[in-house]
DNA sequence: GCACAGGGCCAAT
DNA sequence: ATTGGCCCTGTG
């Protein structure tokens, strides 16, 4: 099995990148080892704590150039981003320091569209399960990598997923989102929404276009724009982000989502999307950690 | 056992 | 502009 080492990395932490809620098709093997199922490939990534080098198993140097360099956003200057955001205020500085190895992946638009339609009103483990169910039923099996008993499948293409009836989709436990997925398949297949064309539209035009699909509102459109189209000025505002922003900047006062979007746009400017990822990772981790702390005390 | 919330959105007020 | 309902699952 071919493997590749990337050395001298800064602002690159595999665990942080994968656990920051932007991607769902991965599995944690150990604390420093993950299996990632994207781009029709199955790779394993290992990185020791604090290490500036990452091992990629089951890939090659040429794939590093052709696929992974772009996917992991290697060319972007995260030092500049982290530094600029840290200067904003101590809260932001703490969030950046906590997740300074985060990067925003350049993912596939179709995959982001379907994944984030599924995400609404679900917890992250549940989203991952639903995506696995759909891939198992409509995707293509991928050759496993050594010592892995779990079978992986590619994310279903529009052609593959279009074969599914609403009833079959509901059998994948996606519930009321089934007709939304059907509508996304239909609009992408008949090119009412051409995902490639969105690349050259303005962010606002692309956002409006995405929202013509049933089940795609402002939050999900922003996730697609940030994670598939690298539109760093958007600020996907979900329940976690809302609570964090209220806590940091509005003394815990209840705000409207629109007010938070307006604040973020003005305050973070073109780095809003990066700010969102640092804040999400920080906020979610600390909430989950506090929960397990409470449980431990009761036990 | 059951109430509640989870990377929201739609449709009806 | 506001609000109830929604498939399903994990958690307390």
Res A290: pLDDT: 55
Q: Is any atom of nucleic acid chain B found less than 7 Å from the CB of residue A115?
A: no
Res A258: pLDDT: 94
Q: Is any atom of nucleic acid chain B found less than 7 Å from the CB of residue A154?
A: no
Separation of A95 CA and C10 C1' (Å): 27
3-state SS of A86-116?
Answer: HCCCHHHHHHHHHCCCCCCCCCCHHHHHHHH
Q: Is any atom of nucleic acid chain B found less than 7 Å from the CB of residue A44?
A: no
Res A295: pLDDT: 40
* Angstrom distance (rounded) from CA A156 to CA A163: 10
Mean pLDDT over all residues of chain A? 94
Q: Is any atom of nucleic acid chain C found less than 7 Å from the CB of residue A290?
A: no
Lowest average pLDDT, out of A94-98, A106-110, A212-216, A294-298, goes to A294-298
* Angstrom distance (rounded) from CA A171 to CA A11: 41
Separation of A247 CA and C6 C1' (Å): 29
Res A288: pLDDT: 64
Which nucleotide does the CA of A130 lie closest to, via C1'? C8
Separation of A234 CA and B8 C1' (Å): 17
Which nucleotides of strand B come closer than 7 angstroms to any CB of the protein? 5-11
Q: How far is CA A107 from CA A16, A23, A71, A72, A138, in A?
A: 16, 8, 7, 9, 20
Proportion of chain A above pLDDT 70, given as a percent: 95
Which nucleotide does the CA of A129 lie closest to, via C1'? C9
Res A289: pLDDT: 60
- Nearest residue to nucleotide C5, by CA–C1' distance, is A176
Q: Which of residues 240-259 of A touch strand B (CB under 7 A)?
A: 240-241
- Nearest residue to nucleotide C11, by CA–C1' distance, is A291
Proportion of chain A above pLDDT 90, given as a percent: 92
Which nucleotides of strand C come closer than 7 angstroms to any CB of the protein? 2, 6-12
Beta bridge partners of A153: A141
Note the pTM of the prediction, 2 decimals.
0.96
Which nucleotide does the CA of A176 lie closest to, via C1'? C7
| A247-290 pLDDT, tens digit each | 999 999 999 999 999 999 999 999 999 999 999 999 988 876 65
């Amino acid at each position: 099995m071919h493997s590749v080492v990337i050395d001298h990395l800064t602002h690159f932490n595999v665990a942080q990148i994968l656990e920051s809620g932007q991607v769902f098709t991965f599995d944690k093997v150990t604390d420093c080892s993950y299996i990632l199922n994207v781009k029709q490939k199955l790779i394993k990534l290992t990185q020791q704590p604090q290490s500036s080098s990452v091992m990629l198993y089951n890939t090659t140097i040429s794939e590093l150039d052709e696929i992974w360099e772009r996917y992991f956003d290697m060319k972007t200057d995260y030092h500049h981003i982290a530094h600029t955001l840290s200067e904003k205020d101590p809260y932001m500085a703490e969030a950046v320091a906590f997740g300074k190895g985060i990067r925003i992946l350049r993912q596939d638009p179709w995959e982001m569209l379907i994944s984030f339609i599924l995400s609404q009103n679900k917890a992250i483990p549940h989203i991952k399960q639903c995506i696995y169910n759909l891939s198992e039923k409509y995707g293509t099996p991928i050759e496993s990598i050594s010592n892995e008993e779990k079978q992986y499948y590619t994310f279903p293409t529009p052609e593959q997923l279009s074969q599914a009836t609403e009833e079959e989709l509901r059998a994948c436990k996606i519930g009321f989102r089934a007709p939304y997925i059907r509508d996304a398949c239909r609009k992408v297949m008949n090119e009412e929404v051409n995902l490639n064309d969105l690349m050259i539209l303005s962010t606002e035009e692309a956002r409006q276009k995405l929202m013509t699909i049933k089940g795609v509102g402002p939050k999900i459109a922003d996730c697609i724009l940030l994670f598939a189209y690298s539109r760093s000025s958007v600020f996907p505002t979900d329940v976690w982000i809302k609570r964090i922003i209220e806590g940091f900047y509005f003394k815990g006062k209840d705000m409207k989502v629109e007010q938070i979007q307006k604040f973020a746009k003005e305050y973070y400017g073109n780095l809003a999307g990066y700010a969102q990822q640092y804040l999400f990772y920080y906020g979610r981790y600390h909430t989950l950690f506090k929960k397990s702390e409470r449980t431990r005390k009761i036990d």
